[in-house]
Amino acid sequence: MRRGRRLAIDVGDARIGVASSDPDGLLATPVETVPGRDLPAAQRRLAALVTEYEPIEVVTGLPRSLKGSEGPAAAKVRAFAEELARKITPVPVRLVDERMSTVTAAQDMRASGVNSKKGRSRIDQAAAVVILQNALETERMSGSPPGECVEVVV
């Protein structure tokens, strides 16, 4: 397992959830929810978080269908991740499968007593935590970085 903090983002149309790991890659915790409607402003905020947290990589959830295929939402996330990768070079951006992360996050929040109306902005952070925790576990088990690295094209 590589040592170093990671950031994870759950990209949605309205909001972007952000989570961070500890430097040992053991635990993912929520950071904040970034408004997602103004993409340039969202990209700037995420770049500022990268500067602040100094991660070894940014893990981005890639939405796939239950069968594993990619649709329009995945294409949007890929484009978002490519733009982010250009802004935060040399920090790599990795795309990881995020199937069921929001569902899992919502179930976890309901189980802890947070109602859905009050928890809307926090659910995106919780989904980012699920994405990051899964990525950390994948790396721990495989010994390799999770997902696929976004290639920066200049």
Contact 56, 90 (CB under 8 A): no
Find the helix packing angle between 120-142 and 101-111, rounded to 10°: 120
**3-12, 40-49, 88-97, 112-121: segment of lowest average pLDDT:** 112-121
The first and second tokens of residue 4, run together, are 């170093």
**pLDDT per residue over 19-39, tens digit each?**
999 999 999 999 999 999 999
**pLDDT per residue over 76-106, tens digit each?**
999 999 999 999 999 999 999 986 555 565 6
Q: Could you write out the DSSP letters of every residue in 36-69? A: -SSHHHHHHHHHHHHHHH--SEEEEEE---TTS-
Q: Does position 121 have pLDDT exceeding 90, yes or no?
A: no
- The model's pTM is 0.88
- C-alpha–C-alpha distance, residues 147 and 134, integer Å: 11
Sorted by sequence, the CB contacts under 8 Å of residue 151 that are 6+ apart come out as 82, 85
Q: Domain 6-142 carries which CATH code?
A: 3.30.420.140
- C-alpha–C-alpha distance, residues 102 and 42, integer Å: 20
Contact 25, 46 (CB under 8 A): no
